[in-house]
A and B are shown apart, each in its own frame.
Chain A
């Protein structure tokens, strides 16, 4: 069975500092992995995704994530936080057995301090 664990329900960083949001997954087959962002009072939007191929994935707004199979991780990073990055971030996994829906983590709220 698939599952996703996001370490830290709330992360706070200073503007300009490194952003690191952690995601670990369990999957019995090669997974598809996703990061979504949710700004206040909005729906979720895709930041980036890993399906196959290159393990370092670049997304929108300067974010990237690296798929590490040996560590079953897909951590999200950004070199320098901006105030506009304050939002909730969700990691999701799909085992890809045809029509199996994504499984989402519980989310990490990112605060950026000026």
Chain B
């Protein structure tokens, strides 16, 4: 049972490049989330998907897009990366919105 998996683990981009972070869960959860973690800022919610077919903005959605591809997969896309998007990105899933969230191992992204 892999839980929540994220790819890639590390990525370096140049300003203006695009990339997609992939997330998959095998727990049959309905809800999935994307967070970024920056020193002193805690976890900030970027986007979430309460159920398959729905997505909603979180606290810091600017510069990002998401796709809930199916019940298992939830991807995060940076269309034109900026140095301010240098961060560690975590994906999480839960059975329902108020339930326990299970986190992936994170993607460390650096934008030069």
Contacts and interface: CB of A to CB of B under 8 A. Distances in A.
B48 interface: yes
A90 interface: yes
A107 B40 CA distance: 8
Q: Is the interface of A mostly helix, strand, loop or mixed?
A: loop
B105 interface: yes
A90 B101 contact: no
Given A43-B105, A106-B41, A100 B97 contact: yes
Contact of A99 (B41, B45, B97, B101): B97
B74 interface: no
A99 B21 CA distance: 23
A94 B42 contact: no
A99 B42 contact: no
A43 B23 CA distance: 13
Contacts, number: 61
A107 B98 contact: no
Interface residues of B, number: 24
A99 B50 contact: yes
A106 B50 CA distance: 23
Contacts of B101: 44, 46, 92, 102
B110 to A, nearest CB: 15
Contacts of B4: 43
A90 B42 contact: yes
Interface in B18-51: 31, 33, 40-43, 45, 48, 50-51
A101 B92 CA distance: 11
Interface string A35-59: 0100001111110010000000000
A80 B90 CA distance: 31
B42 A49 contact: no
Interface in A4-21: 9
Interface string B56-89: 0010000000000000000000000000000000
A104 B31 CA distance: 17
